[in-house]
A and B are shown apart, each in its own frame.
Chain A
Amino acid sequence: MRELIPETPHVSTLVFEVPEWPGHLAGQHVDVRLTAEDGYQAQRSYSIASPPEDGAVALTVERLEEGEVSPYLAGEVRQGDQLELRGPIGGYFVWQAGSEPQRPVLLIGGGSGVVPLMAMIRHRHAAGAGTPMRLLYSSRSLEDVIYRAELDRLAGGGLAIVHTLTRSRPPGWTGYARRLDREMLAEVAWPVTLGAAIFICGPTSFVETASAGLVELGYPPESIRTERFGATGGTT
Chain B
Amino acid sequence: MAFISRGFKGRRSSAADSSRLPPGQYLATGFPVLSAGPTPHTPLEKWSFTITGEVDQDRTWTWAEFQALPAEDITADIHCVTKWSKLGTRWTGVPVSALLEGVESAADYVTAFSDGGYTTNLPLEDLVDGKAWVAFRYDGQPLDPEHGGPARLLVPHLYLWKSAKWVRGLRLTLDDRPGFWESNGYNMYGDPWREQRYWGD
A-side residues, CB < 8 A to B, are: 33-37, 39-45, 68, 72, 76, 81-84, 89-93, 204, 208, 211-212, 214-215, 221-222, 224-226, 228, 230-236
Closest to A75 in B: B7
Residues from chain A with Cβ under 8 Å of B184 in the complex: 90-92
Cross-chain contact A225 with B83 (CB below 8 angstroms): no
Q: List 13 A-B contacts (CB under 8 A).
A: A42-B8, A76-B8, A204-B146, A211-B37, A211-B38, A212-B39, A221-B37, A221-B116, A231-B83, A233-B32, A234-B28, A234-B32, A235-B144
Measured CA separation A219–B9 after assembly (Å): 46
Residues from chain B with Cβ under 8 Å of A226 in the complex: 35-38
Residues 171-201 of chain B, each 1 if its beta carbon lies under 8 Å from chain A, else 0: 0000000001101110000000000001000
Question: Any chain A CB within 8 A of the CB of B4?
Answer: yes
Question: Any chain A CB within 8 A of the CB of B5?
Answer: yes
What distance in Å separates the Cβ of A105 from its nearest Cβ neighbour in chain B? 16
Cross-chain contact A36 with B10 (CB below 8 angstroms): yes
Measured CA separation A91–B180 after assembly (Å): 10
Closest to B12 in A: A40
Closest to A223 in B: B37
Cross-chain contact A222 with B83 (CB below 8 angstroms): no
Known: A72-B7, A235-B146. 11 other contacts (CB 8 A): A39-B2, A41-B10, A43-B24, A45-B82, A89-B185, A92-B36, A221-B40, A222-B116, A228-B34, A232-B30, A234-B30
Residues from chain B with Cβ under 8 Å of A37 in the complex: 4
Closest 10 CB pairs of A and B: A234-B30, A211-B38, A91-B184, A34-B5, A236-B31, A204-B33, A68-B11, A34-B8, A43-B24, A92-B184
Measured CA separation A212–B33 after assembly (Å): 15
The A-B contact count (CB < 8 A) is 121
B37 partner, pick from A35, A204, A222, beta carbons under 8 A: A222
What distance in Å separates the Cβ of A208 from its nearest Cβ neighbour in chain B? 6
Residues from chain B with Cβ under 8 Å of A233 in the complex: 29-30, 32
Measured CA separation A86–B23 after assembly (Å): 15
Cross-chain contact B8 with A72 (CB below 8 angstroms): yes
Question: Any chain A CB within 8 A of the CB of B46?
Answer: no
Measured CA separation A208–B84 after assembly (Å): 20
A34 partner, pick from B10, B30, B40, B183, beta carbons under 8 A: B10
Central interface residue in B2, B38, B180, by most chain A CB within 10 Å: B38
Q: How many interface residues does B have (CB within 8 Å)?
A: 43
Measured CA separation A234–B139 after assembly (Å): 15
Cross-chain contact B31 with A35 (CB below 8 angstroms): no
Closest to B141 in A: A236
Question: Any chain A CB within 8 A of the CB of B68?
Answer: no
Measured CA separation A82–B6 after assembly (Å): 9
Measured CA separation A89–B1 after assembly (Å): 19
Residues from chain B with Cβ under 8 Å of A93 in the complex: 36
Central interface residue in B3, B10, B12, B24, by most chain A CB within 10 Å: B10
Measured CA separation A81–B9 after assembly (Å): 16
Closest to B185 in A: A91
Residues from chain A with Cβ under 8 Å of B139 in the complex: 236
Measured CA separation A213–B30 after assembly (Å): 25
Question: Any chain A CB within 8 A of the CB of B117?
Answer: yes
Question: Any chain A CB within 8 A of the CB of B26?
Answer: yes
Cross-chain contact A231 with B31 (CB below 8 angstroms): no
Residues from chain B with Cβ under 8 Å of A215 in the complex: 38
Interface residues of B in 124-154 (CB under 8 A from A): 138-139, 144, 146
What distance in Å separates the Cβ of B187 from its nearest Cβ neighbour in chain A? 11
Residues from chain B with Cβ under 8 Å of A91 in the complex: 183-185
Cross-chain contact A90 with B185 (CB below 8 angstroms): yes
Residues from chain B with Cβ under 8 Å of A221 in the complex: 37-38, 40, 116
Closest to B117 in A: A222
Cross-chain contact A235 with B30 (CB below 8 angstroms): yes
Measured CA separation A214–B138 after assembly (Å): 28
